[in-house]
Amino acid sequence: MSTPSRAQHLVLVVDDNEDLRALVAETLRKLGGYQVVTAEDGIQGLERYFDVWPDCVVIDIKMPGLDGYQLIRALRGDAASAATPLVVLSAMVQDRDRLAGMLSGADEYLLKPVSLPDLLQTIQRVIGRSEQERRERQQALLNTEPP
């Protein structure tokens, strides 16, 4: 697979639900002006990441093989991918699920079904964050009391 042109930001969407993956990808392309690459599970997502070097990754949590938490930890654990913005898009709605996603290293945690404008705004916001802002958010999260 060749690397897309960098004229636009590139977003990798990793979700095992084919319909949702297609809807998110099409929305990001048409309404957000993003280039989009998709993957159907965490293993394929990790492989695609290093094929295309995206500017942001949107990740589902419950997937076969490598789940979203494991994918996040793998990306955060590699110096080459550690600073990439990661957005969780999950149907797991409990506070503990959100906390687990954030503690795994996600920049944002959105719930399904998501408002497509909210998803676009979130991606734009995380792409615009500096590495320092990202670290400060993680540190603040570590200092909060569990729900």
Read off the pLDDT band of 1 (50, 70, 90): very low
pTM of the model: 0.87
Residue 53 Rama label (left phi>0; alpha psi -120 to 50; beta): left
The two structure tokens encoding residue 9 = 């930001």
For residues 32-49, give the mean pLDDT.
96
Which of 34-38, 128-132, 136-140 tops mean pLDDT? 34-38
For residues 75-104, give the mean pLDDT.
88
- Mean pLDDT (the chain) is 88
